Structure 1
Amino acid sequence: MAKRVIRAYCTVSREAACALAGTPPWELEAEVLAEVYHRTAAARRSGNPPARQEIEHWRKEARDAIIDKWSDQLQDPGAGHRTVLALQPVLRAWIERHRGFLPYRMVQVLTGHGCFGKYLHNIGRESTAGCHHCGCDTDTAQHTLEECPAWAGQRVALTAAIGLDLSLPTVVKTIVDNDTGFDAFKTFCESVMLEKEMAERAREEDPLADPIRRRRTGRRRRAFARNLI
């Protein structure tokens, strides 16, 4: 559910997806419900049924406690380290932000799961992890965000809003703190990732490309084609 909320690739880790979606894991949400239930039940047994406002106060207290517990858990993530460790210091502010949904291409840059040489190599869609845009040996989300000279023009507006430090923790903190930073990061991700996607699509359609790069035709695509006949 968290992956669908943030429009993430299915390979994104549970920890990273939940953190980006601002949704504590369900076992922690269950602790909130259990705490409120037990306190309400105890109050009723004592002959003092709680008012709605009191129940809401208990719910807020319990939720604050599980966010602190969740934040502690995320200090040592099992997967999605780059994303989780950038979000963990500002987790509460990230959850409470009011800047709407996360665009699909922004999520690619935040998670590293998308049109990046290293990711595509890891899932068997590229023969190497290299960058097609600058020739660097390894193309990652951070390389795209911070280093690749192909995106120097788009990076000018981003650094003007965020600063020269484009490490992910700094970027995340900035986009949580102000609208200008969020909008600049969103614009950068949309522009750059769109170009990377178009380049990847061209490689998929190139008949001379490495076979692993060619567009695949899965069962659903073949079934759809048969239905058109």
Structure 2
Amino acid sequence: MVDTKLKFGVHIRRAADKAAKMTTALSRLMANTRGPRASRRRVLMSVVHSILLYGVEVWADSLSIAYHRKRLAAVQRRCALRVACAYRTVSHEAVMVVAGAIPIHLLAKERKEVYQKKGQPGTRATKKEESREETLGRWQEEWDAAQKGQWTKRLIPRLGPWLGRSQGEVDFFLTQLLTGHGAFRAYLHKMGRARSPMCLHCGDAQDDACHTFFVCERWAGWRRAVEDELGRLQPETLVLKMIESDRNWKRVATFARAVLSEKRMELASQGPASHEGTSSSEED
């Protein structure tokens, strides 16, 4: 038994190393502000998942998944950051949700369960569908309990509607709105990139994503233009409005791009200490 577990451990480490190299190589082609759309970026995620989960039906049990979870999750997180065009300071929990990537330990458990159902009544498609529903239920429970990514959780409390949407892709600017990591002085101050977290325009104590998109008068004109089409914007209902239609999604995405492009220029004009371009790896 010990020899078997050691063998599986070596296999998993090699798979993680191979997937990490693949991620590094492909990531060079996928800068946050340019390159393929999110749907094309998910090809990277599918390739990495195939490598990480190879043979999972054999090695995956509760103990092995738990033991290797951190190593597997680290590789998957790097992929998710590229899919979502996110700052690397975004928490693992939040970036998985924004990228629509089921955490790797849950995928491993799901594949193992589907394999174990072999020979039971029902078609393979039905078994896979049942297992996926169980997986999403587990992910929702983990998301509910997550301590990090609270702003993202406020916008996307329920995974079902977000993952089941029929349109809409995230990009560099929309992801900043969804995560709160980006051209916001509160975030940059936390990262040591701004002298103060205060808003440059109204003096509010915290220039964060909520203040920028839902409160600050500096952006009121653009906000009202969106509200004339979609109704009042609130954090708790924004994503629900976005996923109603492709038109709604694009309208909010355009709003995010316009506001954050302007904010980046304003922050750059304040000097190096206020510049948006952080490379910190600190978790939220």
Instruction: Give the TM-score category using the shorter length.
Output: 0.7 to 0.9
Given the superposition, is the C-alpha separation of residues 96 and 68 from structure 1 closer, same or farther in structure 2, using an over 3 Å criterion? same
2:259 is equivalent to residue 192 of structure 1? yes
Distance of 2:224 and 2:160 partners within structure 1: 30
Name the CA distance, whole Å, in 2 between partners of 1:215 and 1:104: 13
RMSD value over aligned CA atoms?
2.2
Work out the percentage of aligned pairs sharing the same amino acid.
32
Q: C-alpha distance in 2, partners of 1:215/1:173?
A: 29
Q: Does 1:161 align with 2:239?
A: no
Cα-to-partner distance string for 1:61-97 (whole Å, 9 max, x where unaligned): 10111101111221121201121243122x1121122
User: Which of structure 1's runs of 4+ aligned residues deviate more than 4 A?
Assistant: none
Q: Which residue of 2 aligns with 1:18?
A: 96
Matches of 2:276 and 2:137 in 1, distance apart? Answer: 45
Residue 141 (structure 2) aligns with? 72
Letter in 1 for 2:196: T
Return the offset for 1:104.
Answer: 0.8
Distance (Å, rounded) in 2 between the aligned partners of 1:96 and 1:86: 16
* Paired residues of 1:8 and 1:17 also in contact (CA < 8 A): yes
- Cα deviation, residue 214, structure 1: 6.8
**Aligned 8 A contact 2:84 2:175 in 1:** yes
Native 8 Å contact 1:204 1:215 kept in 2 = no
For residues 141 and 96 of structure 2, what CA distance do their matches in structure 1 show?
A: 14
Is the alpha carbon distance of 1:191 and 1:105 closer, same or farther for their aligned partners in structure 2, counting shifts above 3 Å? same
TM-score, normalization: structure 2?
Answer: 0.66
Q: How many residues align?
A: 200
Paired residue type of 1:62: S
Q: Whole-Å Cα distance in 1 between the matches of residues 137 and 195 of structure 2?
A: 43
TM-score (norm 1): 0.80
Residues 214 and 115 of structure 1, relative CA distance in 2, 3 Å threshold: closer
Structure 1 unaligned residues grouped into runs of 5+: 206-211, 219-229
* Contact map agreement 1:105 1:190 (CA 8 A) in 2: yes
1:74 and 1:85 in contact (8 A); partners too = no
Aligned to 2:42: none
State the alpha-carbon separation in 2 of the partners of residues 28 and 168 from structure 1: 28
Q: Deviations over 1:89-130 (max 9, x none)?
A: 2x1121122324202101111111001010000000111101
For residues 58-207 of structure 1, the aligned pairs below 5 Å read 58-89=127-158, 91-164=159-232, 166-204=233-271
Offset of 1:161 from its aligned partner?
Answer: 2.7
